[in-house]
């Protein structure tokens, strides 16, 4: 019976290149924007790419929307600016 | 125009008895249908709605009116125009066609006679509820294919038809005069 002898020195692999893969998500309390119905991980219908150019914003009532969607909604309201989800006065959460 | 998701995927919501279909190949003209809620005069009727989506949707409400003729204080018996706050100043961008149709179904179950669209119907609703319910049920039976017939009213209508009046015109005149044949005849002859 023969035993295979593996020399660790001969089997050494040199790791010269490594490729990092990262993902990101918005941390929101919902999956979709209540105004445009698009996924929060996507962007609003006016934008092409999700990310920092199409950010999410929160109201003090805790509801969350694409910033472009909620600003459009607030601009379309002449008298009271209410959250489209709960009708409380809309205030941006700091 | 930007395309928003209307949430009509799987347009039939069997449990709620509402549905939405496209008229042509675009999302701007739609036909909705709601079933009259049980334990109301509209029970089992199929009511068709014309829905027009404005370019500014969902920042402005859809334009909705009844295509099926209906006898209800908040809906015009002539044009089908609807008086409902969420279709006007109480619209919110988070509402969907689904919530609109469910609200209309709720309106059928709970009329608001103090904020009427059709003054004649609202007056009857407030002053003569039994006649109102019978009339609404009769209209549901005739125009919305509802299952409940109102034989008493049908007999009076038959008399008016035998006098040579058009059926629909006679129905409107009778409904508007609490099914008093004499008063209805008078209004049919003077109009």
- pLDDT for B57 equals 94
Q: Would you tell me which CATH number, out of the four given (3.40.605.10, 3.30.40.10, 3.40.50.1980, 2.40.50.140), belongs to the domain A1-94?
A: 3.30.40.10
B16/B18 Cα distance (integer angstroms): 6
pLDDT digits (tens, 9 = 90+) for A71-86: 999 999 988 899 999 9
pLDDT digits (tens, 9 = 90+) for A5-59: 666 666 677 778 888 898 888 887 788 999 999 999 889 999 999 888 999 999 9
Q: From the CA atom positions of chain A, what is the Rg in Å?
A: 25
B16 falls in which pLDDT band (50, 70, 90)? low
Question: What's CA B104's distance to the chain center, in Å?
Answer: 9
Q: How many CA atoms are closer than 13 Å to the CA of A7, on its beta-carbon side? A: 2
Cβ-defined contact of B94 to A82 (cutoff 8 Å): no
For the record, the structure tokens of B41 come out as 């005069």
Cβ-defined contact of B94 to A76 (cutoff 8 Å): no
What are the structural domains of chain B?
Answer: 3-109 (3.10.110.10), 119-190 (no CATH)
B151 annotated active-site = no
Candidates A30, A38, A45: best to mutate against B (most CBs of B within 10 A) is A45
CB-CB neighbors (< 8 A) of A35 in chain B: 58, 93-94
Determine how β-strand B46-52 pairs with β-strand B63-66. antiparallel
Question: What's CA B184's distance to the chain center, in Å?
Answer: 22
B143/B148 Cα distance (integer angstroms): 12
């Amino acid at each position: 019976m023969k035993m295979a002898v593996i020399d660790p020195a001969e089997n050494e692999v040199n790791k010269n290149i490594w490729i990092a893969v990262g993902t990101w998500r918005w941390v929101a309390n919902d999956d979709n924007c209540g105004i445009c119905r698009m996924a929060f991980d996507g962007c609003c219908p006016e934008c092409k790419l999700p990310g920092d150019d199409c950010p999410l914003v929160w109201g003090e009532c805790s509801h969350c929307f694409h910033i472009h969607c909620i600003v459009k909604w607030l601009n379309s309201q002449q008298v009271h600016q209410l959250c489209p989800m709960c009708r409380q006065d809309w205030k941006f959460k700091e | 125009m930007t395309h928003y998701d209307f949430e009509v995927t799987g347009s039939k919501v069997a449990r709620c008895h509402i549905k939405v279909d496209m008229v042509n190949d675009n999302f701007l003209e739609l036909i909705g249908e709601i079933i009259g809620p049980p334990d109301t005069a509209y029970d089992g009727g199929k009511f068709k709605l014309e829905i027009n989506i404005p370019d500014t949707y969902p920042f402005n409400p859809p334009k909705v009116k009844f295509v099926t003729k209906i006898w209800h204080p908040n809906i015009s018996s002539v044009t089908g125009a609807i008086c409902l706050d969420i279709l006007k100043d109480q619209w919110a961008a988070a509402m969907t066609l689904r919530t609109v149709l469910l609200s209309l179904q709720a309106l059928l179950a709970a009329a608001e006679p103090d904020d009427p669209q059709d003054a004649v119907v609202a007056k009857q609703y407030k002053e003569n509820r039994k006649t109102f319910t019978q009339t609404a049920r009769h209209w549901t039976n005739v125009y919305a294919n509802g299952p409940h017939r109102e034989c008493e009213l049908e007999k009076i209508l038959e008399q008016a038809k035998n006098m040579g009046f058009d059926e629909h015109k006679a129905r409107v005149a009778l409904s508007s005069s609490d099914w008093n044949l004499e008063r209805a005849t008078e209004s049919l002859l003077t109009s």
